[in-house]
Amino acid sequence: MSSEDEKRTAAVASVGLVENGMTVGLGTGSTVAYLLPALAARGLDIRCVATSPRTATAAGELGLRIVDFSEVDRFDIAIDGADQIAPDGWLIKGGGAAHTREKVVANAADRFVVIADASKPVDALHGSVPVELLAYGLSATLRELAHVVLRDVPRSPDGGVIGDYHGDLSDPAALAARLSAAPGLVDHGLFPPSMVNDVLIARGSDVEHRV
């Protein structure tokens, strides 16, 4: 089974957690791209908030009811992918440059569900952590932060500048605190275990459900 098949398997498994009448947060990325048609096919009476224009467009085209986040202050459930899942539950997200909005939605959800293929669980977080930086004072922020490489992609939907932090990832809690405290940094792609309620990981056709 391919990783795309596993993404679809995890996404389909998560749809069973959504019930009529719920307010649902929709993440962003290629795994969520499989969630949307599976969710739409259930024909539930739900209202959804998207974490990116591309999720909003795709969901709307499938007939899912998309409402503006200004109409919602809590979610019954939010479902999203991840780039990396550490054994202690720390996530790296933001490969798709949507981590700032995704974190606001995940934090406002009674139940935050992560869906993933078998490539996402890692022995230790590695590589880089996406960051969104305020355009105002960008050079000063970059000088202060160090280890950040800006991406060549357009800014985030909220006008922030997207980059990747390439420093030490051995202590995600300490790094998350340091990045969060950095003036000019809007948010970063480290999601704490306390924010995550369920992780559905597809390995072949089997789904591991971590709570």
**Which H/E stretch holds residue 141?**
helix 138-145
8 A C-beta contact, residue 130 and residue 94: yes
Q: Which is nearer to ligand DER, 175 or 187 (CB)?
A: 187
Which of these is catalytic: 19, 102, 132, 208?
A: 102
Q: Does 96 bind ligand DER (CB under 6 A)?
A: yes
Q: Cα-flanking dihedrals φ and ψ of residue 185, to 5°? A: -95, 120
* Residues 23-42, interacting with ligand DER (CB under 6 A): 27-31
Among 82, 109, 186, 202, binds ligand DER (CB under 6 A): 82
Q: Is 143 helix (H, G, I), strand (E, B) or coil?
A: helix
Residue at token pair 């990783």: 3
C-alpha separations of 60 from 8, 26, 123, 150 in Å:
19, 12, 37, 31
Residues binding ligand DER: what is the number (CB under 6 A)? 16
Q: Is 159 left (phi over 0), alpha (psi -120 to 50) or beta?
A: left
Q: In whole angstroms, how close is the CB of 94 to ligand DER at the nearest point? A: 5
Q: In whole angstroms, how close is the CB of 198 to ligand DER at the nearest point? A: 15
Tell me the β-bridge partners of 115: 200
> What angle do helix axes 32-41 and 53-61 make, rounded to 10 degrees?
30
Q: Does 102 bind ligand DER (CB under 6 A)?
A: yes
Tell me the β-bridge partners of 163: 131, 150
Stretch that binds ligand DER, among 65-73, 87-95, 168-176, 192-200 (CB under 6 A): 87-95
Q: Which is nearer to ligand DER, 79 or 140 (CB)?
A: 79
8 A C-beta contact, residue 180 and residue 92: no
Q: Compose the 62-81 pattern: x for residues touching ligand DER by CB under 6 A, - for all others.
A: ------------------xx
- Number of neighbouring beta carbons within 10 Å of residue 53: 11
Q: Does 163 bind ligand DER (CB under 6 A)?
A: no
Q: Does 93 bind ligand DER (CB under 6 A)?
A: yes
The reply to whether 4 belongs to the active site is no
Stretch that binds ligand DER, among 37-45, 58-66, 97-105, 144-152 (CB under 6 A): 97-105
Residue numbers of the site for ligand DER (CB under 6 A)? Answer: 27-31, 80-83, 93-96, 98-99, 102
Q: What positions carry a catalytic annotation?
A: 102
